[in-house]
């Protein structure tokens, strides 16, 4: 067949199909206009959800159909199935309805159904892209995001590129967080999935089981520890005979379990250890999914050198070029003065800081203490001022009748001078923020030995603060450890700015995998998991007609 005849036939085919494409384009344009007006829009009976990104997507392609290739449609279905491994729910992305059309081509459908299918496929792609990149739940409001309105333009571009370059098969792996912490959680999720069929009979409460004792609950405890990987299975006759005996081997397994769950590693099987042993794989899976979501909230780039504080794990880690160079314990805010979650940059250090006591702490904590112990202020090197700013006036605390003042009538400011008693210790790490939160040293060293460390008023106390200071100041103006020690010994307030501010991320992970591959679970100290889990399992919400725009 001549090339001229082929060209003529192509033109005839285009001429015949042009009314179809024109009708499809008009239909898509009308739907996008309805979305702009914030009217509920459905496709094949299901609501469209990516209300901000959908119009952008189709506008850039001049409202033409996007899903003519069977391979692309099949790849999207596979991507939705793969997203379940990340704790996302396939039904959120129209999976069941799209799967019913898997064996049909657009040519099998009428013009209206073809447009509907195209819109539904695009809606699924955009929403999945948004949830993988930024999370399903808004970090600030803790509301599920169904409109794909965060970074909508970028979501549109990424989805368009994936479709145009046939990269949908790799979509999930490319968009999910690449950090090792997230990837290790995916492996832990697979392990928890494997435990789902195992019966998880509750271990009854009773007296604390101590090493060497015999107890009827030990066979079930042994099975539980084997299932979770803390105890290697054994088939020896001796183990079968003495399985009700709390042997050294079983004590070691219990201690490993306690370490992974943030319990005192004393080998005693008491109430808290039993409670942790009774947490089902289903409950742990939901907890793990909540922490996968928290990973998706993080910035895509954490920083070549960065610090992560896990509030729920009471731990600070400093990472440089992918390697952990510091891990140290921290103390965080009490449940009624919770440490907030955010990312910022450490910009400078203060050696020998003073501590200006926040008003809430002055009136709620310090005032009752001063009333009980008149010498408290002098013993801990506090200076008292009447008023604030340049007009404040130093006052002798012995001349003040502290019983005359209250939370609503407290005209004083308390400032603790540098020294060994200072509540901030010898160094603080500053990343100025609206919460007035920072990292700092502390003289209260004994508290770091506690398994749960919620003792601060919101700021984060760092156990190995001098090591952290040394690492931050490496290679900067001869700030060696010796220079740091000399500066501290001087008791003079000294501020040192970093040449390169270091990112710091305050996070709340109740589940993680450490560098040795151990799966860790922690108590939800601030009670944040239930609401997040509820939002992650929430069904998509449609836009009500009364939410239509009036502008």
State the catalytic residues. 440, 459
**How is residue 233 written in tokens?**
């299975």
**How is residue 127 written in tokens?**
């929403």
Residue 143: CB partners within 8 Å, gap ≥ 6? Answer: 137, 535
**Would you tell me how many other CB atoms lie within 10 Å of the CB of residue 38?**
17
**How is residue 342 written in tokens?**
């955010």
Rounded Cα–Cα distance for residues 109 and 101 (Å): 10
Q: How many CA atoms lie within 13 A of 285 on its CB side?
A: 17
Helix%, strand%, coil% for the chain, nearest 5: 45, 15, 40
Strands 323-333 and 355-356: unpaired
Could you give the residue ranges of the DSSP H alpha helices within 387-528? 465-472, 481-490
Alpha-carbon Rg for the chain in angstroms: 30
Are 383 and 412 in contact by the 8 Å Cβ rule? The answer is no
What's the distance, Cα to Cα, between the start and end of the chain in Å?
59
**Strand (E) or helix (H) holding 327:** strand 323-333
Place of tokens 């502290």: 402
């Amino acid at each position: 067949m001549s090339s001229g005849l082929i060209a003529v036939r192509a033109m005839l085919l285009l001429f015949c199909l042009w009314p179809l494409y024109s009708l499809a384009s008009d239909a898509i344009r009308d739907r996008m206009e309805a979305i702009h007006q914030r009217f509920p829009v459905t496709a094949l009976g299901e609501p469209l959800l990516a209300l901000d990104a959908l119009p952008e997507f189709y506008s850039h392609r001049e409202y033409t159909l996007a899903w003519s290739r069977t391979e692309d449609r099949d790849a999207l279905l596979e991507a939705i199935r793969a997203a379940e491994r990340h704790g996302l729910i396939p039904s959120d992305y129209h999976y069941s309805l799209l799967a019913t059309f898997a064996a049909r081509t657009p040519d099998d459908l009428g013009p209206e159904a073809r447009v509907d299918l195209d819109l539904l496929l695009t809606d699924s792609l955009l929403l999945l892209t948004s949830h993988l990149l930024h999370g399903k739940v808004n970090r600030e409001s803790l509301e599920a995001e169904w409109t794909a309105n965060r970074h909508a333009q970028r979501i549109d571009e990424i989805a368009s590129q994936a479709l145009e370059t046939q990269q949908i098969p790799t979509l999930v792996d490319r968009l999910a967080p690449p950090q090792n912490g997230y990837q290790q959680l995916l492996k832990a999720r697979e392990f928890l999935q494997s435990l789902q069929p195992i019966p998880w009979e509750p271990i009854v409460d009773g007296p604390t089981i101590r090493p060497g004792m015999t107890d009827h609950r030990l066979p079930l405890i042994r099975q539980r520890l084997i299932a979770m990987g803390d105890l290697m299975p054994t088939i020896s006759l001796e183990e079968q005979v003495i399985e009700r005996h709390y042997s050294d081997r079983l004590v070691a397994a219990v201690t490993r379990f306690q370490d992974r769950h943030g319990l005192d590693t004393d080998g005693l099987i008491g109430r808290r250890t039993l409670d942790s042993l009774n947490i089902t794989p289903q409950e742990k899976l939901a907890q793990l999914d909540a922490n996968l979501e928290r990973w998706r909230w993080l910035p895509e780039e954490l920083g070549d050198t960065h610090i992560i504080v896990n509030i729920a794990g009471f731990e600070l880690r400093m990472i440089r070029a992918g390697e952990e160079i510091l891990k140290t314990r921290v103390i965080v805010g009490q449940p009624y003065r919770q440490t907030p979650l955010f990312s910022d940059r450490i910009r400078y250090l203060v050696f020998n800081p003073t501590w200006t006591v926040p008003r809430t702490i002055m009136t709620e904590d310090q005032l009752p203490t001063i009333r009980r112990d008149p010498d408290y202020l002098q013993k801990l090197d506090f200076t008292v001022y009447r008023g604030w700013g340049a007009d404040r006036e130093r006052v002798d605390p012995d001349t003040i009748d502290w019983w005359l003042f209250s939370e609503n009538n407290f005209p004083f400011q308390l400032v603790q001078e540098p020294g060994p008693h200072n509540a901030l210790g010898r160094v603080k790490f500053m990343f100025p923020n609206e919460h007035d939160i920072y990292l700092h040293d502390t003289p209260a060293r004994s508290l770091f030995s506690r398994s749960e460390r919620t003792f601060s008023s919101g700021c984060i106390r760092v156990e190995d603060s001098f090591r952290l200071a040394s690492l931050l100041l490496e290679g900067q103006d001869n700030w060696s450890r010796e220079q740091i020690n000399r500066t501290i010994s001087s008791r003079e307030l000294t501020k040192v700015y970093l040449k390169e501010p270091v990112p710091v991320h305050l996070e709340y992970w109740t589940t993680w995998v450490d560098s040795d591959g151990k799966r860790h679970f922690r108590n939800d100290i601030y009670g944040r998991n239930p609401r997040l889990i509820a939002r992650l399992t929430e069904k998509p919400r449609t836009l009500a007609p009364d939410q239509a725009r009036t502008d």
